[in-house]
Amino acid sequence: MQIIFNVAGAKIYYDNEILTFQVSGFGVTEVASIMTLVQFSALAITIWLGFRAKKAGVDKNTLFAWIFLTATLDLLVFNKVGSPQYELWVIGAAFVGVLFGTANWKPVVWLTVFSSGLSWLIFPIFYGDLLDGKPFGVSLLIVRNLAVVAILVWSNMQLMKLGKKELALK
């Protein structure tokens, strides 16, 4: 085990057994186990919002695009494993919305391009800075993660609006 970063009992190390970087420290195991519950709860909310929008008569392509994007982001944002290739999931989901001509989709596209660009900068260009805890590498990751969370918030708001707007018209 090669320790990369070790501060106040928290450490980042490379685990040769599973061939990945790991984080350890106070509360890591507990937080990881809670994240599984949070992830399933987020998916349940997405299903509920999708059901409401479906019941309200939202177009199936629009509904699929928003549910696909939101569920993908639920799996990404609340996952205890962070991996740069997960950004490809968001690109795929964003592409579906573009293909379907989904309304209110421009923020999704721009935030996806932005977060994907930051992922490319982090991995592999500034990955060493991130592992060393240097401010620039860490800042890039924080901004990228905030952009991904912003897409999740936007997609949840759109699913909520679809259910409310269509219900109000009936």
- List pLDDT tens digits, range 23-45: 888 888 898 889 999 999 999 99
Residues with Cβ < 8 Å from 92, sequence gap 6 or more?
72
The pTM is what?
Answer: 0.88
Contact 147/114 with Cβ under 8 angstroms? yes
Residue 79, classed as helix, strand or coil, is: coil
Write out the two tokens for 95. 């592409």
Phi, psi values for residue 9, rounded to 5°? 85, -10
- Taking only the tens place, the pLDDT of each residue in 50-95 is 999 999 999 999 999 999 999 999 999 999 888 888 889 999 999 9
- pLDDT at position 5 is 66
